[in-house]
């Protein structure tokens, strides 16, 4: 009698244990997979005070990146244009969005040409890329070396909202420096 019980109990317990292990395993793996990739500390771009689409300006209006990001090949920062530069088209030549099919275009452009915005530096664009303060990055040598914007920023021309697409962490910078015989001592990038 005792023997029969063991003969039944052992496989039943074995099976139950296997099931528990499989289930726990499944949930561990499953929750691990559904985590966002931790190495990539970036995601969707921030909401901007004016919904400025790169798509229209680079593709439809045919503007060069450096028309707006004027200091990218000479300075540390690429620079973001002042409203006066937007008004070059959205005021004097009266591109108001009225003709456009997009219901938001007119309202967004109105922020530029109406009296909603005044003063010398009125638009507080939210930063998309932002290195910590202890790191120095300078655009100029990279552009002079012949790297295109897309090497680090991806296909901005097709982004309605700019987002960070490249890691740009220390390892990423150092790997590229090593591959291109650029300096890798700490003081190159750290003050
Ligand atoms: C008509 C002017 C204009 C043109 C042309 C333009 N940009 Fe911009 N760019 C802006 C403005 C305004 C912002 C800030 C708002 C935003 O992030 O969308 C910006 C933001 C960016 C940012 C994000 C900056 C940050 O905060 O990290 C990148 C990167 C960028 N532009 C790259 C490019 C590249 C590459 C091109 C050419 C393919 C280009 N831009 C063409 C006006 C322009
Ligand atoms: C080697 C990589 C690299 C290349 C190439 C590059 N960028 Fe950047 N860009 C960065 C990094 C890194 C930051 C963040 C800098 C910081 O936070 O100090 C940045 C920030 C920016 C910003 C926001 C801050 C600022 O500097 O005004 C703009 C705008 C920008 N880039 C535009 C451009 C444009 C336009 C080009 C091409 C002409 C370009 N970048 C090429 C790496 C790059
Ligand atoms: C060289 C001319 C030119 C310059 C400079 C320019 N734009 Fe534009 N912009 C255009 C054109 C063309 C359109 C498309 C017109 C339309 O949608 O009716 C447009 C459309 C827009 C729209 C509506 C987009 C949509 O379809 O939803 C916004 C918002 C805008 N621009 C903001 C800006 C801002 C902000 C700046 C300055 C950083 C700027 N523009 C600089 C030519 C320009
Ligand atoms: C796509 C490759 C690439 C990436 C990515 C890159 N760099 Fe560079 N960087 C270079 C090259 C090549 C040079 C050397 C240019 C020269 O010799 O003038 C350079 C030069 C520099 C310089 C100037 C060094 C000097 O003393 O002249 C600094 C600072 C710098 N990089 C910082 C960074 C930081 C910080 C990052 C990451 C956020 C980064 N770089 C990402 C390729 C890259
Ligand atoms: C080519 C550029 C570059 C060089 C060279 C470089 N760093 Fe960095 N470092 C970065 C960037 C970009 C960050 C910020 C992003 C990050 O945390 O990875 C950083 C971050 C750091 C941090 C902070 C990490 C954290 O978790 O906050 C330390 C510490 C550091 N670096 C030490 C060093 C030391 C020590 C050296 C020399 C052996 C060095 N770095 C060389 C680009 C560089």
Model pLDDT for residues 33-87, shown as the tens digit of each residue: 333 333 334 567 898 999 999 999 999 899 999 999 999 999 999 999 988 888 8
**Domain residue extents for the chain:** 1-35
Contact between 186 and 134 under an 8 Å Cβ cutoff? The reply is no
For residue 60, CA distances in Å to 63, 71, 93, 101, 166 come to 8, 23, 16, 14, 26
From the CA of 9, how far away is ligand 1's center (Å)? 69
CA distance 185 to 45: 32
Neighbours of 162 (CB within 10 A): 19
From the CA of 167, how far away is ligand 5's center (Å)? 13
Q: Whose CA is nearest to atom 12 of ligand 5?
A: 170
With vertex at residue 45, the alpha carbon angle to CA 32 and CA 189, rounded to the nearest 5 degrees, is: 85
Which of 129, 138, 170 for mutating ligand 5's site (highest number of atoms within 8 Å of CB)? 170
Q: Whose CA is nearest to atom 40 of ligand 3?
A: 86
Per-residue pLDDT tens digits for 100-147: 777 788 888 888 876 555 555 568 899 999 999 999 999 999 999 999
pTM of the model: 0.87
């Amino acid at each position: 009698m005792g023997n029969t019980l063991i003969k039944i109990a052992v496989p039943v317990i074995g099976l139950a244990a296997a099931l528990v292990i499989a289930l726990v395993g499944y949930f561990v793996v499953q929750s691990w997979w559904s985590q966002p990739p931790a190495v990539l500390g970036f995601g969707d771009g921030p909401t901007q005070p004016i919904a400025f689409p790169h798509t229209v300006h680079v593709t439809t209006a045919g503007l060069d990146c450096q028309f707006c990001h004027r200091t990218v090949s000479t300075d540390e920062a690429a620079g973001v244009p002042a409203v006066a530069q937007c008004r070059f088209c959205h005021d004097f030549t009266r591109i108001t969005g009225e003709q456009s099919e997009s219901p938001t275009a007119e309202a967004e452009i109105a922020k530029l040409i109406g009296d909603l915005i005044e003063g010398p530096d009125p638009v507080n664009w939210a930063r998309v890329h932002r290195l910590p303060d202890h790191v120095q990055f300078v655009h100029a040598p990279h552009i002079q070396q012949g790297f295109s914007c897309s090497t680090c920023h991806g296909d901005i021309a097709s982004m309605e909202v700019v987002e960070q697409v490249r890691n740009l962490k220390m390892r990423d910078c150092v790997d590229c420096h090593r591959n291109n015989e650029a300096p890798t001592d700490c003081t190159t990038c750290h003050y």
